[in-house]
Amino acid sequence: MEQSGLAEAAGGNVLIYVHKEEELEDVERRYPADQYVLVDDKLRILTAAKKVWGSRVTTVFPRQGHYALDPEILAQYPPADLSLEGVGDLLTCELPALIQAGQSS
């Protein structure tokens, strides 16, 4: 996160969990918000968060890594709110557009 510049772009407000889909209550406790952005290369995790948070979360799917490119895995889950070629592409996204992408699904 630091090397990509994303930690700085988020003002250091970055949480990393082994099983983030099981830690959504902890996220809400630490950072109460009306809207969240969750970035993961596993559609399973993004789908789980969307089930819990609904339109309160924008799911972002960087299409990099093993899970992000496996056609069988991709066919099992609905698409994320936003797909990017890589996690670094988040630096080109404007926050209002990210929020809108999550609320329109």
- Give tens-digit pLDDT for 25-60: 999 999 999 999 898 889 999 999 999 999 999 999
Structure token pair of residue 56: 């309160």
User: What Cα–Cα distance (Å) separates residue 74 from each residue in 36, 51, 71?
Assistant: 23, 17, 5
14 close to 39: Cβ distance less than 8 angstroms: no
CATH fold label, 6-103: Rossmann fold (3.40.50)
Structure token pair of residue 30: 């630490």
Mean pLDDT for the stretch of residues 96-100 = 83
* Predicted model pTM: 0.81
Q: Which residues share a beta bridge with 61?
A: 83
Name the residue ranges covered by the structural domains of the chain: 6-103
Residue 69 phi, psi dihedral angles, 5° rounding: -115, -5
Structure token pair of residue 85: 């070629």
Mean pLDDT for the stretch of residues 80-95 = 86
d(CA 56, CA 32): 11
d(CA 91, CA 4): 9
